[in-house]
C-alpha cells in the first residue's frame, strides 16, 4: 500500500516563498507528481520527479530524495492566483497514482 | 489541446437509483482511471483500465463497477446509489509512452445522492 503525507494548510504573503513537503512510504516507486487544484476545478499537472534532485519550472520547483521518501514543492514570488490546493502523488510500477490529501495554500496580500 | 470530458458537472440522484458516469478522452490513451475526491481524504482510486475490456480494482471499488467497451470511453456505474457515495468524481487518462507522463483529468462530476 501507499502512505503519503503532506501538511493540511499553509498561509503565505504575496511575493513570498512557500515550501510544501511531502513524505511517502510506497510499495514500488515510478515517479512523484505535483498537481495544482483550484476550488471546483480538476487537478492540473505541475511537475514530475523520478530521479533525485531539483526540477525547476519557472516560479515552481520540485525536489525529490528517493532514499528519504521525501519531496517538496517550492513556490516562489507568490501571486494571489497561486491560492489553491497542491496534491502530491506517487506513481507505482503499474502506472497507478496514489495521492496525498492535499495542502491548501492561501496567499494573502 | 488534450481533452478529457465527463458527461455531467452536477448530478442529483435518489438512494437506490442506478447511476452512470461517462468519461471520454480524445488522446488515444491506453490507461483510464476513476477517482472520488472527498474533503480531507484526497483523491482515491476506484477503478482503472489498461485497455479495452480490461479493468482493475483500485483502493475503494465496493459499490461501483466500470465498463470500457471502446478505448476512448470509460464508464463508472453505481448499481444502487447510496448517500455515502455523494462525492466529486474525477476521470483521468494517461499513456504508456514515456514522453507523456502525466495524468490528464476531466472537469469532475459532483454527485449528490439524497
pLDDT digits (tens, 9 = 90+) for A60-73: 999 999 999 999 99
Residues 6+ apart with CB under 8 A from A65: A52, A71
Whether residue A85 has pLDDT greater than 80: yes
pLDDT tens per residue across span A17-39 = 999 999 999 888 889 999 999 99
Give the per-residue pLDDT at A52. Answer: 96
Give the per-residue pLDDT at A27. Answer: 82
Instruction: Provide residues of B within 8 Å CB-CB of chain A.
Output: 31, 33, 35, 40-45, 48, 50, 58-59, 90, 94, 96, 101-108
The CA distances from residue B3 to A15, A25, B81, in Å, are 33, 32, 28
> Under DSSP, is residue B97 helix (H, G, I), strand (E, B) or coil?
coil
Whether residue A44 has pLDDT greater than 80: yes
pLDDT range class, residue A109, cuts 50, 70, 90: very high
Which chain A positions have a beta carbon within 8 Å of B59's beta carbon? 98
Considering only the C-alpha atoms of chain B, give the largest distance between any 2 of them, rounded to a whole number of Å: 43
User: Per the CB < 8 Å rule, is B42 touching A48?
Assistant: no
The CA distances from residue A96 to A40, A43, B12, in Å, are 23, 16, 29
- Among residues A32, A104, A41, A43, which one has the least CA distance to residue A65? A32
Whether residue B98 has pLDDT greater than 60: no
Give the per-residue pLDDT at B73. Answer: 97
Residues A27, A82: Cα–Cα separation, whole Å: 32
Give the per-residue pLDDT at A94. Answer: 75
Location of C-alpha cell 471520454: B24
Lookup: cell for B113: 445522492
Instruction: Provide residues of A within 8 Å CB-CB of chain B.
Output: 8, 31, 33, 41-45, 48, 87, 89, 95-102
The 10 Å Cβ neighbour count of residue B30 is 17
Task: Select the residue from B10, B45, B99, B102 to test the A interface by mutation, using most A Cβ atoms within 10 A.
Answer: B102
Whether residue A13 has pLDDT greater than 60: yes
> What is the percent of chain A where pLDDT is above 90?
81
pLDDT tens per residue across span B9-63 = 999 999 999 999 999 999 888 899 999 999 888 899 999 998 898 999 999 999 9
Whether residue B100 has pLDDT greater than 70: no
Which chain A positions have a beta carbon within 8 Å of B94's beta carbon? 95
DSSP, res A93: T
| CA–CA min distance B31, chain A (Å) | 8
pLDDT range class, residue B2, cuts 50, 70, 90: low
Give the per-residue pLDDT at B95. Answer: 79
- Phi then psi for residue A81, to 5 deg, are -70, -10
Give the per-residue pLDDT at B97. Answer: 62
Which chain A positions have a beta carbon within 8 Å of B89's beta carbon? none
Which chain B positions have a beta carbon within 8 Å of A38's beta carbon? none
Number of helices followed by number of strands (H, E) in chain B: 0, 11
User: Per the CB < 8 Å rule, is B102 touching A43?
Assistant: no
Lookup: cell for A47: 511537475
**What is chain B's mean pLDDT, rounded?**
92
User: Per the CB < 8 Å rule, is B107 touching A44?
Assistant: no
Amino acid at each position: 500500500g501507499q502512505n503519503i503525507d503532506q501538511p493540511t494548510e499553509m498561509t503565505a504573503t504575496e511575493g513570498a516563498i512557500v515550501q510544501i513537503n511531502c513524505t511517502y512510504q510506497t510499495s514500488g516507486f515510478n515517479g512523484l507528481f505535483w498537481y495544482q487544484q483550484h476550488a471546483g476545478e480538476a487537478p492540473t499537472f505541475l511537475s514530475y520527479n523520478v530521479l533525485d534532485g531539483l526540477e525547476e519550472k519557472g516560479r515552481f520547483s520540485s525536489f525529490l530524495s528517493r532514499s528519504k521518501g521525501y519531496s517538496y514543492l517550492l513556490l516562489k514570488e507568490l501571486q494571489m492566483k497561486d491560492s489553491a490546493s497542491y496534491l502530491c502523488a506517487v506513481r507505482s510500477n503499474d502506472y497507478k497514482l496514489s495521492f496525498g490529501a492535499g495542502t491548501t495554500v492561501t496567499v494573502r496580500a | 489541446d488534450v481533452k478529457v470530458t465527463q458527461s455531467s458537472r452536477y448530478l442529483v440522484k435518489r438512494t437506490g437509483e442506478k447511476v452512470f458516469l461517462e468519461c471520454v478522452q480524445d488522446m488515444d490513451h491506453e490507461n483510464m482511471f476513476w477517482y472520488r475526491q472527498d474533503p480531507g481524504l484526497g483523491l482515491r482510486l476506484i477503478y482503472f483500465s489498461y485497455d479495452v475490456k480490461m479493468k482493475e480494482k483500485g483502493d475503494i471499488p465496493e459499490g461501483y463497477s466500470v465498463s470500457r467497451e471502446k478505448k476512448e470511453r470509460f464508464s463508472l456505474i453505481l448499481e444502487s446509489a447510496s448517500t455515502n457515495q455523494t462525492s466529486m468524481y474525477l476521470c483521468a487518462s494517461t499513456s504508456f509512452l514515456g514522453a507523456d507522463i502525466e495524468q490528464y483529468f476531466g472537469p469532475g462530476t459532483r454527485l449528490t445522492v439524497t
